[in-house]
Chain A
């Protein structure tokens, strides 16, 4: 059952007021935050004020949209007017934007209520939220495990029922991987489908905003509300947005589902592999044809990403210099020292590492060998996908090679941390939509994610397949015990 549709029904039938609903979520936040730390900022007063407005509208007999009065959580790298937006960085600890991101603007216009800003890896760089300057977010299924990253706060908040649904951002898997780790649905849309205006940039050619939600239907509703052309984003596509809920059909007759061979080999946790195999059987039973196919350059996604993303990041993060806004270090005696102290103290280790990698890759004499070559490989990866989509309507693979790992397990080894995004990264490089949904649990009760990859603007097909699978399986009905 879609959480948003259920809350909407309650509001319209006046079974519960928006204030009651919002207060219930705020109570849940208060109860589980000491364990989880999904939020960096809880905007309780503001949420209740918004809820009161919704109640007035309902009392006045106004018709309301599906998202009106629905409490949502927003990843803290989306700028919110008057509400601090930290990117989980000391650099922006006290930064209050004088402007609103397009996506939150759209949600506000739809009457949605923001309960707070969620935790993330600093500047969305990471796979566990352990790179947050303000503490990591625990996994609701097991607080000793990470929630994934970088949208770990949003994923945990959805899984723990701290909000009806949430927004995250995904540059190399930052929506899908935490969705998989926390047992929720997460979608990274086609590049350009959702405006990036107000999303604090990490890697501009890869970043996309997308929904994290308890069900496929909720994700489809949320995407419909945030997608669409934005004149403030030159990379946003001029396409009309369908009603994605119309795509939600229970059978898969005639659907060709491709299994990327390169993703089912070594390195997979056995339970992840068996969950994938079981999922394929379910899909087949629903009427789909399973096609085995190859994306030979799939594995090059990871190294390619770790050139392109840091390169763009090194420029995007140059503006944090202590001059006009954000953190400025004390005690510098000249400009250069101010720059150096500010950036040395304001950024965490992973951010610094990526700035240095990117700066190196773009330097004179290295540009051709690294950045330019990476762009060429990116083109080849796109071609692989294009060929795959000649044979299949949707591709499937695990969202991550493993289930949620232990907090602290990989922090000392960045490379092993990077490997947890192996399956999601190529999708960003190709600009394709990718969706993760629960497909089982491992021995320790941790959720396993199934990734569906769509062709350009293939969101409807993704929702169709995901919905059919979801309706045929029990995974989404399970709740973490907190």
Chain B
């Protein structure tokens, strides 16, 4: 216990770039000479220590400190105004939605919300940063000391849960974008163009504790974080458009050690699987290096999707000094207890809570619970279907199967699906009551998916309800048997496989409406009885 605690404290130190170099190098020294007798590094087993820093763009209509639009993909330098351009004399004014979204994200991540917080200036020169300082939060972030729970499901469908600590969540403004001309990279380009549409887009930076150990855990953490933010409606989580950007800090150490190895930062992963692959690659690289007695260089590495490798981007030369100081243009941020309570009451049920509920209350397998809760819309659709009377597992199967396939094919959000949850529930109930067969339900589905409406009415309109009346079926069976004396004779001579043939004839006769189970039972009785 004491071990875990001390490592956490050190880790939160390493998560802040400005102070990391010194502390990690002393940690490195400690790992190198721990024992009186030298141990062959190749003989040890290693584990990775991983922390994530995730930048999320908040889905506000306007920028964090000015009124320009935040819309993605606008022509360069069209979503701009004097404030986000940092023109002389302009002043920032906090967009209240940003605070609300950040606090809600903090609450959803089980953080303590600071009753008194402030903005600071983080100073560095770069052409995409119009003021040459970023308005960010330094020592009093809006939220701290939280966690989220990840769930990893193995091949057997068994779920393993793990709490991942959240060090802090803070608000800041995004920078603009440089477009390098004459080359697709900075090196070799002849000049660079500045697009400031993104300058001043609101971000939250969420820093995890170094509680992650594998690429899979890290990818799952990032995914769960994205899920939560999307549930809250505070971030669209679009990695391709850069709404969610993930930096990884990773080091390796012998299993059992409570100090840290030298930290390497990895950037440039734009999917969850890339996060996982980059980390797995990097762990392998670092372990091989350590085993070979090589020192790990503290540096920033880029994930190269083409080669599936990480490569050096820049080596840290000393620590950078951002000369943080309190932003004098913005007053302190004070969140009243009433406001906090109101925002807390606004929070939806989150994916982890839903997963627990689906598994414990409705007995769904962990994998199903995961799939259904991935998107808030799908989860709500599922819950509404169950609330309308559908058995959970059956509703789950329909939603995860045909409906998901249809949505994917049509590139449609479930909210836009014409078939409403009550209608899906009705369809499932028709099958349950044996009014129609599953096969018939599947046949009806395309029309229901595209047009919606009551399945019961559709069945009636099409005269499709299942024939489950024993007397009617028996009479029809008699007719079929009478129409096929040869086959009947062969059956009774022992060729019992022919029962399928008679079932087929029944289906043909009833246009598929004969209750298959009942038909089989009755047919078997008739075929065998009169011999």
Taking CB atoms, residues of chain B closer than 8 Å to A315 are 121, 123, 131, 133, 323, 325
Interchain CB contact under 8 A, B88 and A235? no
> Is B389 interfacial (CB 8 A cutoff)?
no
A453 to chain B, nearest CB (A): 22
Q: Does A339 contact B (CB under 8 A)?
A: yes
Q: A319-B130, A321-B132 are in contact. Are A198 and B89 (CB under 8 A)?
A: yes
For residue A78, which residues in chain B have a CB less than 8 angstroms away from its CB? Answer: 89
Tell me whether B125 and A339 are in contact (CB under 8 A).
yes
Interface centre among A98, A321, A339 (most CB of B within 10 A): A321
Q: Is the CB of B91 within 8 A of A232?
A: yes
| Selected interface stretch from A181-189, A252-260, A363-371, A419-427 | A363-371
Q: Which residues of A contact B130 (CB under 8 A)?
A: 319, 323-324
List, in ascending order, chain A residues with CB within 8 A of B92's CB: 234
Q: In the complex, which of the residues A201, A321, A364 contacts B125, with contact meaning CB atoms closer than 8 Å? A: A321
**With A99-B87, A319-B131: A234-B123 Cβ-Cβ less than 8 Å:** no
> B127 in the interface, Cβ–Cβ < 8 Å?
yes
* A398 CB → nearest B CB, Å: 29
**Would you call the interface of chain B mostly helix, strand, loop, or mixed?**
loop
Report if B111 contacts A (CB, 8 A): no
Partner of B88, one of A85, A204, A233, A321: A85
A224 at the interface (CB under 8 A from B): no
Q: Does B194 lie at the interface of the complex (its beta carbon under 8 Å from any beta carbon of A)?
A: yes
Chain A residues near B325 (CB-CB < 8 A)? 311-312, 315, 362, 367, 371
**Of B91, B127, B323, which one neighbours A363 at CB under 8 angstroms?**
B323
A319 to B127, CA, bound (A): 10
Complex: how many Å from CA A359 to CA B133? Answer: 13
Instruction: Give chain B residues whose Cβ lies under 8 Å from the Cβ of A231.
Output: 93
Number of interface residues, chain B, beta carbon within 8 A: 31
CA distance A314 to B196 in the complex (A): 23
Q: Which of A60-84 contact B (CB under 8 A)?
A: 77-79
Interface bracket on A: 35 or more
Minimum distance in angstroms from B149 CB to a CB of chain A:
37
A308 to chain B, nearest CB (A): 9
Asked if A87 is at the interface (CB within 8 A of a chain B CB), the reply is: yes
From B330, which residue of chain A is reached at the shortest CB distance?
A234
The digit string for A345-375, where 1 denotes a CB below 8 A from any CB of B, is 0000000000000010011100100010000
Chain A residues with Cβ below 8 Å from B131 are 315, 318-319
- Give per-residue flags for A370-393: 1 if the beta carbon is below 8 A from chain B beta carbons, else 0: 010000000000000000000000
Q: Is B86 an interface residue (CB 8 A)?
A: yes
Assuming the A-B contacts A315-B121, A318-B133, are A324 and B194 also in contact, with contact meaning beta carbons closer than 8 angstroms in the complex? yes
Q: Which residues of A are found within 8 Å of B125, using beta-carbon distances?
A: 318, 321, 339
Interface string of A191-219 (1 = CB under 8 A from B): 00000111111011100000000000000
Is A480's CB within 8 Å of the partner chain B?
no
Query: Which residues on A sit within 8 Å (CB–CB) of B324?
Result: 362
Contact string, B115-158, partner A, CB cutoff 8 A, digits 1/0? 00000010101010011110000000000000000000000000
**Cβ-defined contact, B194 with A323, below 8 A:** yes
Expressed in whole angstroms, the minimum distance between the Cβ of B171 and any Cβ of chain A is 14
Name the A residues within 8 Å of B194 (CB-CB).
323-324
Complex CA–CA separation, A199 to B91 (angstroms): 9
Q: Which residues of A contact B90 (CB under 8 A)?
A: 99, 197-198
Q: Counting CB contacts under 8 A, is A97 at the interface?
A: yes
Q: Are A319 and B88 in contact (CB under 8 A)?
A: yes
Given A79, A205, A318, A335, which contacts B123 in the complex, CB threshold below 8 Å?
A: A318
* Interface residue? A405 (CB, 8 A): no
Determine how close the nearest CB of chain A comes to the CB of B86; give it in whole angstroms.
Answer: 5
Instruction: Return A122 CB to nearest CB of chain B, in Å.
Output: 13
| A 295-332 contacts with B by CB, 8 A | 311-312, 314-315, 318-319, 321, 323-325
Q: Is B302 an interface residue (CB 8 A)?
A: no
CA A197 – CA B328 in complex, angstroms?
13
In the bound complex, what is the Cα–Cα distance between A364 and B19 (angstroms)?
10
Confirm or deny: B18 has a beta carbon within 8 angstroms of a beta carbon on chain A.
Answer: yes
Q: B331: which A residues are within 8 A, CB to CB? A: 234-235
Interface residue? A95 (CB, 8 A): yes
C-alpha gap A200/B89 in the complex (Å):
4
CB nearest to B18 among chain A residues? A364
A335: nearest chain-B partner, CB-CB: B127
Contact flag A101-B93 (CB < 8 Å), given A204-B329, A315-B123, A359-B323: no
* Interface members, chain A 259-279 (any B CB < 8 Å): none
Ranked 8 nearest A-B pairs via Cβ: A318-B132, A204-B328, A205-B328, A362-B323, A200-B88, A198-B89, A79-B89, A364-B321
4 further A-B contacts with Cβ under 8 Å, apart from A203-B328, A315-B123, A318-B132, are A77-B89, A315-B131, A367-B323, A371-B325
16 residue pairs from A and B, CB less than 8 Å apart: A78-B89, A79-B88, A98-B82, A99-B87, A198-B89, A232-B91, A235-B330, A315-B131, A318-B131, A321-B125, A324-B86, A324-B194, A362-B324, A362-B325, A363-B323, A364-B319
